[in-house]
Amino acid sequence: MSSTLSIINPSNEQVVTTVAMADVEEADRAIQRAAQASRSWRAVTPADRARLLRRFSEVVDSHNEELAQLEVANSGHTIGNARWEAGNVRDVLAYYSGAPERHSGRQIPVAGGVDLTFYEPLGVVGIIAPWNFPMPIAGWGLAPALAAGNTVVLKPATLTPLTALRLAELALEAGIPEGVFQVVAGDGATVGYRFVTHDAVRKVCFTGSNAAGRKIMAGCAEQVKRVTLELGGKSANIIFADADLEKAAASAPYAVFDNAGQDCCARSRILVEVSAYDRFMELLEPAVKGVRVLDPADEASEMGPLITAAQRDSVAAYVEETNVAFRGSAPSGPGYWFAPTVLETPDRTSRAFTEEIFGPVVSVVRFKDEAEALEIANESPYGLSGSIWTRNIARALRVARGVETGALSVNSNSSVRYSTPFGGFKQSGIGRELGPDALLGFSEEKNVFIATEEES
Ligand code: NAD
C-alpha cells in the first residue's frame, strides 16, 4: 500500500509538504509504462529527440528560481547553490541535446562484405538518486539516457523528492511524451530495489552509499544487468610548500564545507607539506571562521544545515574534542546545524581520517615529501576526486598521475563539469558519467555484417 511522507525543512524543522510514497505495485506500473513508451521513443528521429531535449532544457531554465527555492526548502541547500544546481540540469540537457544526431556507429573494413555498428538504446533505465544533490544527479543520468533513446524511471532519495517530481512535470510541459521520463517517489529497499529485480529495467544508475551500492551491484548480477555506481569519497587536498598558500587556504574550506560537507567530492583530508604546515594553518583558521553559515534562503549564506538530526548526530560522533584545531560558527535554535570543524589528526587509522563523514568536518595532516603525500592520499579505499596545489608543473603532473582517483584538479578544487567524465576509482564506484562519451553507457553496440559477394 502506498503511504505519505512529511517533507521537513532542515533549516527550521517545519513541515514543507507531504508526498505520496509509491509501493512496489506502483513502481511496477511505472516500469511497465516506461517499457511501453520505449518502443515509440526509440523511433523518434534523432533531430526530433534533440529538439525535445532542448525544449526541456529551456523549460527548466524558465523555472530555475522555482526549482531552486524548492531545493532550499527540501534539502537546506543555499539559494546560490540551488540556483547553480537547477542551472546544471538545464546545461546537461542542452549539452546532451547535441548527442542524438552525433551518436553514430562505425563502418569497419572486413573481407567479403560491409561491416556496420549501431548504437541501440538499452530500453528502460532506472536511476536511483541520493539526497545530497537531488537535481544534478537526476540530470546526469536522465539527459544522456534519454538522448540515447532510452526511457527513464527515476527514484529520488526518500527525503528529497520535490525537485525531481517537479522536473517530471516540466518534461511533460516541454513535450517529452508520457512514460518517457517518470519519477517514482518511494523507499529505497522496496521501490528502488524493484529497478534491480524487474527484468524490464535494463540498467540501474545508482548514486549513494557504498552499503546500498554493494547490494544493488549484487542484485544486478542476477540478470547480468548493466549498472553504474557513484559511491562515497574521502578525497585528499594535497598542498605542497611551493603552492600559492594564500589561495589554497582561502579555498580549502569551500572544497569541503560546501553543501555542509554532504558532497561525495568533498576534500575532507587536507595534506600539507611539513615546512608549510604552520603558515597554512594560520591562513586556514580565518578562512574557516569566515564561512557564512546562515539560513540557506539568505542570499549571503555559504553553508546551510545538515539534512536530518540523525545525520548531525552521525557527524558529531566523529569529532573528538582533543583533536579539534578550530571551528567556525553555526546558528543555534531549530534546524540541523553543525559548525565547520577542523581536526588535526595525527592518527591516520582513526575513523575521522578514514571514513566518509559526509558533514562539515575536515582532517589535516602533515607529509614530508611527494612519496609520502601519495602514500597518504592513496591509503583510502575510495578514489573519487582530489586537488593538488603546487607551482611546479612537473610535480603537479607526476602527482596527478599517481593519485588513484577519478576527478582531480590542480591549483583548483573544481572537479565537476558536464562536458568532462566523472566517476570513481576503487570503492568510489564503477563507470563514468557526463562528458562526451556518456551515451556509450546507455547504448548497446550492435555489429552487422552484410555480405557483398555475388551469389553463385
Ligand atoms: P543511500 O545509499 O542511503 O541512498 C541513495 C539512494 O538509494 C536513495 O534514493 C535511497 O532511497 C536508495 N536506496 C537505499 N537502499 C537501497 C536499496 N537497498 N535498493 C535500492 N535503492 C536503495 O545514500 P544517501 O545517504 O542518500 O547518499 C549519500 C551517499 O551518496 C554518500 O556516501 C555519498 O558519497 C554518495 N554520493 C556519491 C556521489 C558520486 O557521484 N560518487 C554523488 C553523491 C552522493
Mean pLDDT of 271-292: 98
Specify whether the CB–CB gap between 122 and 38 falls below 8 A. no
Mean pLDDT of 108-126: 98
Q: CB of 157 closer than 6 A to ligand 1?
A: yes
| Integer angstrom CA distances of residue 308 from 81, 126, 262 | 19, 26, 11
Specify whether the CB–CB gap between 74 and 9 falls below 8 A. yes
Give the integer Cα–Cα distance in Å for 189 and 195. 10
Tell me which residue has its CA closest to atom 23 in ligand 1.
208
Q: CB of 159 closer than 6 A to ligand 1?
A: no
Give the integer Cα–Cα distance in Å for 439 and 175. 22
Tell me which residue has its CA closest to atom 18 in ligand 1.
189
CA dihedral sign of residues 275, 279, 280, 282: positive
Q: CB of 407 closer than 6 A to ligand 1?
A: no
Q: How far is the CA of 107 from the centre of ligand 1 (A)?
A: 40
Other residues' Cβ atoms within 10 Å of the Cβ of residue 271: 24
- Alpha helices (H) along 115-268: 134-147, 162-173, 193-197, 210-222, 245-257
The pLDDT of residue 1: 58
The pLDDT of residue 320: 83
Q: CB of 188 closer than 6 A to ligand 1?
A: yes
Q: For residue 35, give the nearest of 182, 140, 168 by alpha carbon.
A: 182
* CA end-to-end distance (rounded Å), the chain: 66
Give the DSSP H/E element, type plus range, for residue 33: helix 24-41
Specify whether the CB–CB gap between 210 and 187 falls below 8 A. no
Q: What would the pLDDT profile of 354-402 be if each residue is shown by its tens digit?
A: 999 999 999 999 999 999 999 999 999 999 999 999 999 999 999 999 9
Pocket residue to mutate for ligand 1, from 74, 92, 127, 132, most atoms within 8 A of Cβ: 132
Using the predicted structure, report yes or no on whether residue 90 has a pLDDT greater than 80: yes
**Which atom, in ligand 1's list, is nearest to the CA of 156?**
9
Largest CA-CA distance found in the chain, in angstroms, rounded: 88
Q: CB of 314 closer than 6 A to ligand 1?
A: no
Mean pLDDT of 220-236: 98
Catalytic one of 26, 85, 230, 433 = 230
Q: What would the pLDDT profile of 316-360 be if each residue is shown by its tens digit?
A: 999 988 799 999 999 999 999 999 999 997 789 999 999 999 999
Q: In sequence order, which residues have a C-beta less than 8 Å from that of residue 211 and are 6 or more positions away?
A: none
Q: CB of 266 closer than 6 A to ligand 1?
A: no
Pocket residue to mutate for ligand 1, from 21, 128, 193, 216, most atoms within 8 A of Cβ: 128
Q: How many CA atoms lie within 13 A of 201 on its CB side?
A: 28
Give the integer Cα–Cα distance in Å for 364 and 362. 7
Q: What would the pLDDT profile of 36-81 be if each residue is shown by its tens digit?
A: 999 999 999 999 999 999 999 999 999 999 999 999 999 999 999 9
pLDDT bucket at 454, cuts 50 / 70 / 90: confident
Q: Torsion over CA of 118, 222, 220 and 448, rounded to 10 degrees?
A: 0
Give the integer Cα–Cα distance in Å for 140 and 345. 35
Q: Give one DSSP letter per residue of 61-76, joined into a string.
A: HHTHHHHHHHHHHHH-
Ramachandran quadrant class, 358 (left: phi over 0; alpha: psi -120 to 50; beta: rest): left
Q: How far is the CA of 255 from the centre of ligand 1 (A)?
A: 21
Instruction: Return the ∠ at Cα 454 (arms to 449 and 456), rounded to 5°.
Output: 120
The pLDDT of residue 345: 79
The pLDDT of residue 455: 76
Q: CB of 233 closer than 6 A to ligand 1?
A: yes
Q: CB of 423 closer than 6 A to ligand 1?
A: no
**Does the annotation mark 404 as catalytic?**
no
Q: What would the pLDDT profile of 173-225 be if each residue is shown by its tens digit?
A: 999 999 999 999 999 999 999 999 999 999 999 999 999 999 999 999 999 99
Q: Which three cell numbers stand for residue 337?
A: 546545524
Specify whether the CB–CB gap between 239 and 277 falls below 8 A. no
Mean pLDDT of 124-144: 98
Catalytic one of 264, 273, 302, 433 = 264
DSSP letter, residue 219? H
Tell the burial category of 215 from Cβ atoms under 10 Å away from its Cβ (0-12, 13-18, 19+).
Answer: middle
pLDDT bucket at 145, cuts 50 / 70 / 90: very high
Whole-number percent of the chain with pLDDT over 90: 97
**Does the annotation mark 320 as catalytic?**
no
3-state secondary structure 178-199: CCCEEECCECHHHHHHHHHHCC
Q: How far is the CA of 84 from the centre of ligand 1 (A)?
A: 21
Specify whether the CB–CB gap between 46 and 100 falls below 8 A. yes
Specify whether the CB–CB gap between 193 and 199 falls below 8 A. no
The pLDDT of residue 415: 87
